[in-house]
Chains A and B, each alone.
Chain A
Amino acid sequence: MATVSTSGQSHDMGLHTEKLTNRTQQRFFDAGESANFTYAWAPEVDTNKVGTLDCEGMDPTAINIRIRELMDEGCGTINLSNPGSMHALCVGILNRLQLNVTGSLGYFGCGLIDGPNVNISGRVGWSCGENMMAGTIVIEKNAGSTFGAAIRGGDLVCRGDVGSRTGIDQKGGTIIVGGKTGAFTGFMMQRGRMIILGDAGMNLGDSMYDGTIYVGGKIEGLGVDAIPADLNDLDRKWLKSKLDLYGMETPNGIDNMQKIVAGKQLWNYDNLEPSEKKLVL
């Protein structure tokens, strides 16, 4: 997979336009380093060794413990069935793993993960993938609100519609939504990219600090300090590669996608005098 790893390219895409001064330090993310990262204590797993886990009659704690036991036994692929929309399943997995979920998850599914690839055949409730560091999550149906809250890396993909406040506080990674998204999508987004193939609700990108949101459908309204920007060739190339990766298409073509970035009038907000804040808002 082609990655954008140099600071020059990411500046061209409008991701790192800020000029940091004084004591602030900026360390650019190395995609290659991240892709090969494993925790020293992580168990050795073989993707060809398949473990199965039927959740019927089990509680969430027991299910999460069993996933760890299977990884300790060397299973690199786990097929999980009958999750029954329970909350907080498949959380805190900090290891390479192919996890195939048949069914739907409740709230906080796959939260705090760093590394696994997860496929979910059903839907997910609120806060799926919250604080995800790396890996991929692909959801075949719909998702609830605060989808991908505060994610720092990885790809979070929902092929259906999602609720409101998608990618709130996003700090990295990519969120892809195949359908619609609700109000306040990208609220206080700080970095990373979001692709919405359908329509976006009101206050899109409200108070975003940085990052980029691409929208294929209609935008009901932009939030404070979110502004349109022009798509460039690098955007188009990146969008095509990312959508091809998950077999997704935007209904009106990539050229007609809208690009939303931070106006940065609220940037360094705390340095503004109260009277200046009013002007900015």
Chain B
Amino acid sequence: MCGIAGLIHKKAGGANIGKEMTDMLQALKHRGPDSTGYALYGSPISNYIVRINLAEQADTKKGFDVANQLQSRSDQVDARMVELGAKVSKKENQTSYALRYELSFDGDLKNLIDYVEDIEGVEVMSCGNGLELIKDLGDAAVVSAQYDINSFQGSHAIGHTRMATESDVDIRSAHPYWAYPFADVSVVHNGQLTNYWTNRRALERLGNRFNSNCDSELIAVYIANRISDGDDLETAMRRSIEDLDGVFTYLVATSDSLGMAKDVMAAKPMVIYESDDFIALASEEVSIRSIFDHEIDTFDPYEGEVRVWQL
């Protein structure tokens, strides 16, 4: 079933979007308790923020010499970054398997990502100047406590609670998906894509990478591919309504915008609250109400509708 949510603060300075998104996602827990993910956008910095997973959570709880394996992978990531000329200014171990880097790099970002991902078990979750992409198993309360999300200040965010239907319960199949290799672009999705393999094969032939078997990853790759072909975000999203088959409602966030698209069958829900300086959208109104202590006016977007809000 899955639940998706997004919010955007237009006023300068932003707000405590970490707490707001946690409340919204926790209110959607009944739509999917398997995993929870956040794409939070803070104030952009000059360096890149790169989030890396060294292993699946389940793999860190079994097997021989796991701690040393993780340390070895972490060392290899550091070495490969230095080898390609990246200057790491900050490195944090958020969990035993999740790393957060701040680094400066003048070369081809895609090359760096590909080289780091070539290490066995290592996945680059996201890269950007403001994007913090965090996803893990459990509900929003668990994940937000694990990654200390509730104090995060920023301008906009999207989030996801997952009920696994077509792929595994693991971190790589959790949302959001980063639109590799484009900095600061992320996607969350509620629905099923029925022409996943046709599109995946076509996109793989063009050189795009897929890290999971989750149909939602296709949307991130599709959007990235359209942007690389010169489309702007809204055009790419409008085109996706034609090219993607099945039932879907999805959200895309970039460094300065947030968009939603709904398929022509309108089979997956979305509710929107809009005011002059704040926009919130979610699969259910009860999610938006979790950040308001009073009644609000909301509306549903219609079939085939695409909306994009700018910061």
Contact = CB atoms under 8 A, between A and B. Distances in A.
Interface of A: 84-87, 102-104, 106-107, 121-123, 125-126, 141-142, 144-145, 160-165, 180, 182-184, 201-202
A126 B265 CA distance: 15
A31 B298 CA distance: 36
Interface in B252-311: 264-267, 269, 271, 284-286, 288-289, 295-300, 302-303
A144 B286 contact: no
A233 B195 CA distance: 50
Contacts of A161: 299-300
Contacts of A104: 285, 289, 295-296, 298
Contact of A106 (B265, B284, B302, B303): B284
Given A145-B300, A164-B303, 10 more contacts: A85-B289, A87-B286, A103-B295, A106-B284, A144-B271, A145-B269, A162-B300, A163-B266, A163-B300, A184-B266
Contacts of B267: 164
Contacts of B265: 164, 183-184
Nearest to A183: B303
Contact of B269 (A86, A126, A184): A126
The 5 closest A-B pairs by CB, nearest first: A164-B266, A85-B285, A163-B300, A183-B303, A85-B286
Contact of B300 (A85, A121, A142): A142
Contacts of A182: 266, 300, 302-303
Nearest to B303: A183
B302 A125 contact: no
22 contacts: A84-B289, A102-B295, A104-B295, A106-B285, A121-B295, A123-B298, A123-B299, A125-B271, A141-B297, A142-B299, A144-B269, A144-B300, A160-B299, A162-B300, A163-B300, A164-B265, A164-B302, A165-B266, A183-B265, A184-B266, A202-B264, A202-B303
A86 B289 CA distance: 9
Contacts of B285: 85, 104, 106, 123, 125
Nearest to A81: B295
A201 B303 contact: yes
Contacts of B264: 183, 202
Nearest to A121: B295
B297 A123 contact: yes
Contacts of B266: 145, 163-165, 182-184
Given A85-B284, A85-B286, A125-B285, A183 B302 contact: yes
B303 A122 contact: no
Contacts of A85: 284-286, 288-289
A173 to B, nearest CB: 22
Contacts of B286: 84-87, 106
A18 B265 CA distance: 30
Nearest to A124: B285
A107 B287 CA distance: 12
Contacts of B299: 123, 142, 160-161
Contact of B298 (A84, A142, A183, A201): A142
Contacts of A180: 302
A219 B135 CA distance: 43
Interface in B12-26: none
Nearest to A181: B302
A123 B267 CA distance: 19
Nearest to A161: B299
Contacts of A125: 269, 271, 284-285
Nearest to B268: A145
Nearest to A199: B302
Contacts of B303: 164, 182-183, 201-202
A102 B295 CA distance: 9
B283 to A, nearest CB: 10
A84 B23 CA distance: 14
B13 to A, nearest CB: 29
Contacts of A183: 264-266, 302-303
A179 B44 CA distance: 42
Nearest to A84: B289
Nearest to A103: B295
A269 B141 CA distance: 52
A125 B303 CA distance: 16
B300 to A, nearest CB: 4
Contacts of A106: 284-286
Contacts of A121: 295
A123 B271 CA distance: 11
Contacts of A163: 266, 300, 302
B3 to A, nearest CB: 12
Nearest to B305: A182
A139 to B, nearest CB: 13
B193 to A, nearest CB: 19
Contacts of A103: 295
B30 to A, nearest CB: 8
A103 to B, nearest CB: 5
A160 B286 CA distance: 19
